[in-house]
Structures are given as C-alpha cells and as structure tokens.
Chain A
Amino acid sequence: MSMHTPPRLFARLLALVVPRSTADEVLGDLHEEFVDLAATAGRQRARSWYAAQAIRLASRSMVHRVAAVVGPGPADPLAPNPGDSYMRSLASDVRRAGRTMFKRPAVSALVILTLGLGLGANATIFGGIDALILRPFTIPDLDRLVMVAETEPGTSADTQETVSPANYLDWKAQTDAFEHLAAFGWWDVNLAGQEEAERVAGFFVTANFFPAVGVAPSLGRTFMTDEEVRGNHRRAVLSHALWQRRFGGDRDILGKTVLLDTEPFEIVGVMPEGFGFPLGADVWAPLALDPKAAMRRDDRYLSVVGRLSPGRTIDDAKAQIALVAQRLEQQYPVTNKDRGARVVTMVQGMRDQGLGPMLSLWQASACLVLLIACANIANLLLARGAERQRELAVRAALGASRSRIVRELLVESVVLACAAIPLALGVAWVGIRLIRINLPPRLVRFVDGWTSMGVDERVFGFTVLLALATAIVFGLLPALRASRPALNESLKEGGRSASAGRQRQRLRKGLVIAEIALALPLLVASGMSTLGAHRFLNGPQGYEPDGLLTMRAVLPDAKYLQPEARRRFTDDVVARLSVLPGVRSVGLSNVLPSSNNNSSRAIEVEAVPTSDPANPPLVDNRLVGPAFLGTMQIPVLQGRNFSDADRADSLPVAIISKSAAERHFPGADPIGRKIRLGTDPWLTVVGVSGDYIQQWFNRRNAPTVYRPYAQAPSAYLAIGVRADGDLAALIPAARAAVREVDPAQPIFDVMPMRQALAEKTIGLQYIAAIMAVFGLLALVLAVVGVYSLMAFVITQRTHEIGVRIALGAKRGDVIRLTVGQSARMTAAGAILGLMLSAALSRGLETALFGIISSDVRISLGFAAILITAALAAGYVPARRATKIDPIIALRAE
C-alpha cells in the first residue's frame, strides 16, 4: 500500500509550486515513474529518486514563477525567443554568481559557514519535531486514529483525563463514527520464568484494540471478544522484543504459558518487530471487566483509542461524543457532572505534555539564531554591494534595468544559500546524533519516535526550503539597496558618496543593533536554563542523594495480599540488604524521590472541619521503615522518629513534614494531634520532619505524611540503601539478596539516586545544553557582526581619520571616535535586547512550569558580557585606525 505512495512531503511541495494547470500532468507522470521504479529498484531508491526529481522540478518551477513576477529581462534583438533567452540568461546569472562567489573566497566562506550553522541548527530541531511530534508512530493510517479522553472542569485544554469503564462502554455503544473504539489500561507486571524475574511494561486492552490500531500479529492471533470475560482472560500477546529477549524467538511458543504476577497466562500471539504501542509495551492481555467494574463511572483508569469509520471525519466523532457526554451528564449527575469528553488525533493524544513546548522553544531559538545569521550575512553583502557600487552604476548607466540587477544579486544569494546546504545537513547529522546518544537507553521507550530521528529526505526538503527562504531574507535588502545607486554620486571621481553612504551605514547599523537585540534574549534564556538544570542536579534536595542506591518492587496480590506476608518479605529483604559489605543502613518506603510513581491521600485533621468536602486537601502518603528518615538523611525537626517499637499492634502514629505542619497546623504544635488519611484509622502525630524535593517539576516541598510500614504494609516498595564505596558494584549483591527471599519477585529501577535524579531532569538538561549551544552561537554571530561592521566603517573613513590625525588628533581621540560609535550601537541593541529578554523569560517561566525563575541579575550579567564582547570587537579595528599614516591615507585618493 505504502509501496505505491511517493514521499508525501515532496509530492506536496511540488503540488504547491507547480501551476495548477499542469499539476496533474507533472505529479501524475512522476507518480507513474515512481511506481515503476519502486517495483524494479526498491522502495527506498524510488523514494530518494522521487525526492530528487521533485526538488529539481520544484526549483525549476519556482524560477519560472519568480521570473514571471520579476518580468522579462532586457530585450535582446538577437534572441528569437524571449522565454528561452530568459532561462539562458538566468543560467548565466547562476554561473556569474558562482564566479563571484569564488572571486571572494574569504567572504563567501564566512557566509557559507554562518549560514550552514544557522540552517543546521534549524534542521536539527526540525528533525526532532518531525520524528517526535509530527509522526512518532509507525502505525498505518495514523491520521484515521483518534483518542477520546474525559475532561474535567478547571483543567487546561491539554490535560488528558483517563476514562471510566462505564463511560467508555456508553461511548462505544452510542456512536457510529468509529469503526473500532478500543480501551487500554496500564498494567506493568512481574514476569517470572526460567531466568531472573523481570518487571515488564504491560497493558490491558480490549479485544478490538489491535484492529483499531490496524496492526496484525506476526505470529498467532490477538484477542477474541469472549476473552474479555474474567476467568477466560488469561491470554497474552508478546512484543517482538520480549519474545526475542526472554524466549529466544521460539516459533513454537503459541499455547505455552507465562507467569505474569504469579498467574499463568497462555501466549496466543507475537506482534511484529517495532510495534510497542502504547509506550513501548512488551505484553498485552485482555481487559476483562467484571459486571461490577463495568458499571463504575467514578473510577477512571482507561485510555481510549478509536479508528474512524470510512467516510467519517474527526469532526463527526467530536460531535457524536459531545452529544453522548452531554446525555451521560444529565443521566448520571453524581459522577458525570461537568465532565465532558474530548476527541483529539492520536498524535496529539499520546504526545508528552512537556515535549511540544520544549521543541517549540528550541525551534524558535534556532530561528532566532538563523535571523542573526541573516543579519550578519546581509551586512556582509551590503559591504560588498558598496564595493561594487561603481560596477553596478556603470551597468545601470549602460541600460541594465533595476529588476535585472536585483535578480542577479538575488541569484547570488540563492547560490550562496544552496552552497551552505551540505554543511547544514552535516551540522544536523552531528546535532541529531548528539541528541540521540545522550538519552539514557532506559528512557527511549517513553519517547515515541526517538529511534526514527535522523537526517532523512524530510529534513533535507526542509533545509532546502529554509535555505531558499533565507536567501530571500538576507539577499533582498542588499539587492534592493545596491540596485538603487545614486548614479551621479557613484560615477563621480572617487566615489566617496555622502548621502547614499550614510543611508547605507544607517541600515547596516540597524542590522547590527537588531543582532545584539536578538542575541541577548537567547543568551539570557540559555543562562536561565543552564542555571536551572545545575540547581536541580546539584542544589539541596532535602535529603542526601550521594551514596544512595535505590530499587523498586511491586508485590503481586496473588501471593502477597496479606499484610503479614508483605511484612515478612520486607523484613527479610531489609535484613539481608543490611549485612551486605559497605551497607550502612537500609530505608524502606513505598515511594522514593525522583521516581515515576506517587501516592497521595486526602487528609483530615481531628476537630478541624474540611472546608470543601468534595475536594479535600491532599498529602503525599509515605509508608516507611524505622530507618527510612535516617537513611535518607531527612532531619526530624520536632518530636521523635519511628522506631522498631512502632508495630502493627501499637498506637497508630504519623510523622508529618514541615510543609504539612505549616499548612494544617498553622501556628500550632502538631505533636500529639490526630489526623486521618481517607477512611483509615486516626493517627497520632509524633514528629515533624524536614521537607524534601520529590520531583522538581511539580512536587517540591509537598505536604507529606509518613506512617510506619508495619502499620500499613503497602504492595509498592521503594528501597534506599546507603552504602560506602562503589554503588554500581553493590547492585548484583542487592539483586541476589532479594532473589534469595523470593526468586519469582523482580526488582527494578535499580540505580544510584544520582542517576535517578539525572534521568528525572533529563528534559531540562537537554533544554540547557541546546540553549547553551544556541546562546553561544548567537553571541559569536553578534560579535562577528559588530567586528565586521566596524572594520568596514573604519576602512571607509580612512581618509577622514587620516585628515584628523594630520590635524593633530591623538590616539585617544581616534579610539573614542570609533569605539564610541560601536558603543552607542551596542547600547541600543542591549536595551532592546533587555526588553525582549524580559518578555521571553516570562514565556520560559510558563513553558517550564515555573521551575526556571527569571532573574534580573542574569539578564544584566549577560548584557554585560555581550557589551564587553561587542566593545572588544569594535576596539580591534579602532586600534588599527590609530595606526593610519595620514600621508598614505590622503594619498589613497
């Protein structure tokens, strides 16, 4: 099917450029040849062939269109055919542009280098956006897939609420816009087998899930409708990766059983290689709702994906779902009041919330870098235009029309831009590689499309288009300027024109001011994110992350439903871990900082009525062993710590964090008071602990309640081991210790706390690193801009400076004169830049959930750096000016 479809991007590009009257002919011919070529030479070859042809035809067509707008060149009486002559003269323009380029190799190289970096930065980010946002899934007919989510009052338009089973079933029954409407729920499981037990990513799915996403198994089958019934649901479909990893690609695996959370599941199918929807799933099992669970409307844990019926659009689906949701709201006011439903495309629905803003931020920054680069190049070309003033004036005097000269200069720009494309693609290749290899392999599954990031034909097409657009941006101004020569002035002896020159200089100064004004916000943004990332990683966390090994486990209900069984398991594991060499203490909890899970509960304080019973305040709920606070080095500020004396049958107690004490016992002593979590028994507060950072992005100093694990044994375990020496070397021994207690019980996320922190803040580190590169690029470009302008201005003023020196001006006077000029320019740019920075940092603060705080000192600091660098760049040519020998300068006439 896709065998016969040419690369869509290029087809669209071509359709855009080719006149409508010939679109059918040109695109159809190309399509026909593509199909033939795909059959003989293979799909990949055919695709790149198509891309190359489309680009050639498109650029040809573009030239035609530009030509039609600019109008025909000067009539050549010898040319029998004006059209032909136009193409021929354009070709000669291109050749001439090539010659000009080689005549000034230094300037051309500078332009190409600048442009290559600017275009390359944009191509890199586009590669990311394309792979991660535009087409993150290798699923056929992706545009027919939608996701349906519940909405809740007061949540932003982006939040995707999960769905209750009863609502899902009603949506499914009462709409016909969907060919399939499927549901899935998160189900990470313990997989036990011959080898070490393992925690794998699993999902419960309805039987129509696989037909909905449109992917068939490569082996066996997927699920039947009658397997959505409890008791008949113990079937599993494996991912290709898991099948290879755990079962050695055994082709006779169908019908065998696998132990998932200690229950036997029959393997009925294996999915094709590369399929791991959603979120890199490794195993799928039928979603079996018992009649009671199917009635629930207040328990929301499903995600819903649908395939649109043929001929139906997403708008039909939206209208139908909105209608059903409205009906349900009236029918079930208790659970569905104010709850609507939203239909979004699958790509939107599965998108990581933080990814979009982050990539847009980068693309915007890359665009700024390119703009600065454009300003720089425009400046260089303006300078060259000034040098060629006489040449152009002579040609204009001989009858060359203005459009003719503009065209010629624009062709020069385009040729320069095209010459920069290979460099830009090289930069993008390196950039994307650097981005790819720096993501920890563990996290790759969470970023859909990560592995398909690379320089492909789409990145290529993007770069070409951007290069052409850029050529217009940086070439048009100098071309228009150069083509309007003050004929008399330029042709006059000496050609040191007054008015045109001054105007030109004002333009060039404006460009440099713009460069500085654009560079400063980029610098400030990069400084803010670098400092933010540094603070996250190395700032105080409220506990001691160094020398701490972490691990997690989830005890399956089938084996560990009884509190006594959980206590026995944890006691045993803690005891065995404690005696490992180098281990100083072992802290048991249900949740550790920087992990992906959390547990929170509604809190009630005795004798204090809750203000809004429907929305009670929440606290983080931590069930910890007696050594936990000590192991983490979280201080006990008041009262006492837990001890072995806090047992299942002793007084139920709690320690609350400082923030919880301030929030729920403002101005009062919490020790001895009673609190309750949900409907659990009342707890007596015995201590107040320090706050710590659970998660940088949204859980800093969250109010927390600690309870002794013995009094509330959880199935979720998170263990911190404080040890001396190499933590990595401790990992095998720690795994073995758990295996000795229960060989079927896997532990996961086994890593030093520092690593967990680094992974948790990986997004911010990426932001910081990429912004730092952009900031540096912007700084360098701006400084180069100031330098080249000042060098040019001083060359132009050689005569004047010579006269001044001859009349007795001192070195200091000359430097003051020239540096003063660049200082005024820089100051103007910096003031504009500071204003832009203020706006940008406010945007950054919202985009990054307030983890980055704007700081006037950062802005001023970078303004100072920029101004210093710019002044230095202006000083170098100024010093040269002081060495001007008045006699030589005056003789240079």
Chain B
Amino acid sequence: MPDRQKKAEREIYLGEFEQIVLLAILRLDQDAYAIPVREEIEARTGRRVARGALYTALERLEAKACLSSRMSEPLPERGGRSRRYYTVTPAGLAALRASRAALLALWKGVESRLERP
C-alpha cells in the first residue's frame, strides 16, 4: 500500500460505536435502514441503543463520507414517509479496515493475559 493512501485512511477516525454501526450496515447488505440496523446491533452485541444516538451516528458517518444513503418510495406503513437506506462507501470500508488493523495490532500478545482467571 502506498504511503499517501495509508495516511488518508488514518485521517478518518472511527469511534467504537461508529465501527459497530458500519459493521451492522455491512451485515444487513441491501436492507439497512435505521430500524433493522438498531435491531441488528442490539441482537449481536446485547447492548441497548438509543434511537437518537443511532441517528446522530448515521448523520455523522454520512458527513465523513463513510456512508451514502438513498430514499425509498413513500410507504403507507410509515404514514406515507420514505425509508433512508444506507450503504458503506469505499472510504467507510477503508476506515473500518484501518480500525481493525490497528486494534488487532494492539491485541497481539495480550490475549493470554486476559484469559488468566
């Protein structure tokens, strides 16, 4: 990997919750709008997610160009409102990859100490 690209990737810093949101969206593939994203996170991590916090994170991730979104047709079951579907952008994938690499590097060598009773 060329040096310059590496630098650009590092500039996008992902918080833990942001990583979780991006991963959930990846898992959901085509079906990712706020409700299933939230359900996915709660089911996989066992953590409760405040709706407001999720919307804030989604908005911020889109502002950082990690996510792109499109609106669906208006749906009657939503009172005639549209859904916003999210997709992880290449920049988002790169940021996730960088975060993962950074964490794995740090994890190396400490697993055994955590396993001690």
Contact surface of A with B, Cβ cutoff 8 Å? 4-6, 11, 22-33, 35, 53, 56-57, 60-61, 64, 80-81, 83-84, 87
Which B residues, 38 to 58, have Cβ-Cβ distances below 8 Å to chain A? 50-52, 55-56
In the complex the two chains form, what is the Cα distance from A58 to B50 in whole Å?
13
In the complex the two chains form, what is the Cα distance from A25 to B84 in whole Å?
6
4 further A-B pairs in the complex, CB-CB below 8 A; given A57-B52, A64-B56: A23-B81, A28-B83, A32-B35, A83-B60
In the complex the two chains form, what is the Cα distance from A81 to B82 in whole Å?
30
Q: Which A residues lie within 8 Å of B52 (CB)?
A: 56-57, 60-61
Contact call A28/B60, Cβ cutoff below 8 A = no
In the complex the two chains form, what is the Cα distance from A4 to B80 in whole Å?
12
- B75 contacts the other chain (CB 8 A): yes
Nearest-neighbour CB distance to chain B for A30, whole angstroms, equals: 8
A29 interface neighbour in B15, B35, B56, B60, Cβ under 8 Å: B35
Contact call B59/A27, Cβ cutoff below 8 A = no
Q: Which B residues lie within 8 Å of A25 (CB)?
A: 33-34, 55, 81-84
Contact call B77/A24, Cβ cutoff below 8 A = no
Contact call B75/A28, Cβ cutoff below 8 A = yes
Contact call A84/B15, Cβ cutoff below 8 A = yes
Contact call A24/B84, Cβ cutoff below 8 A = yes
In the complex the two chains form, what is the Cα distance from A4 to B78 in whole Å?
9
Nearest-neighbour CB distance to chain B for A793, whole angstroms, equals: 45
Contacts known (A35-B77, A61-B52, A80-B13); A29 close to B33, Cβ less than 8 A: yes
Contact call A32/B50, Cβ cutoff below 8 A = no
In the complex the two chains form, what is the Cα distance from A227 to B55 in whole Å?
60
How many contacts A-B (CB < 8 Å)?
Answer: 63
The chain A residue sitting closest to B80, CB to CB, is A28
Q: Which A residues lie within 8 Å of B79 (CB)?
A: 4-6, 11, 27-28, 31
Nearest-neighbour CB distance to chain A for B106, whole angstroms, equals: 17
Which B residues, 56 to 85, have Cβ-Cβ distances below 8 Å to chain A? 56, 59-60, 71, 75, 77-79, 81-84
Contact call B35/A33, Cβ cutoff below 8 A = yes
Contact call A32/B78, Cβ cutoff below 8 A = yes
The chain B residue sitting closest to A56, CB to CB, is B52
Nearest-neighbour CB distance to chain A for B99, whole angstroms, equals: 13
Contact call A24/B82, Cβ cutoff below 8 A = yes
Nearest-neighbour CB distance to chain B for A336, whole angstroms, equals: 45
Q: Which A residues lie within 8 Å of B77 (CB)?
A: 31-32, 35
Q: Which B residues lie within 8 Å of A5 (CB)?
A: 79
Contacts known (A35-B77, A61-B52); A28 close to B59, Cβ less than 8 A: no
Contact call B71/A24, Cβ cutoff below 8 A = yes
Nearest-neighbour CB distance to chain B for A35, whole angstroms, equals: 6
Q: Which A residues lie within 8 Å of B82 (CB)?
A: 24-25, 28
Q: Can you pick out 13 interface pairs between chain A and chain B where the beta carbons lie within 8 Å of each other?
A: A24-B71, A25-B33, A25-B81, A25-B83, A31-B81, A32-B77, A53-B51, A57-B51, A60-B52, A61-B52, A64-B56, A83-B56, A83-B60
Q: Which A residues lie within 8 Å of B71 (CB)?
A: 24
Q: Which A residues lie within 8 Å of B34 (CB)?
A: 25-26, 29
Contacts known (A31-B81, A32-B78); A26 close to B55, Cβ less than 8 A: yes
Q: Which B residues lie within 8 Å of A35 (CB)?
A: 77
B78 interface neighbour in A22, A31, A64, A80, Cβ under 8 Å: A31
In the complex the two chains form, what is the Cα distance from A33 to B56 in whole Å?
19
Q: Which B residues lie within 8 Å of A30 (CB)?
A: 51
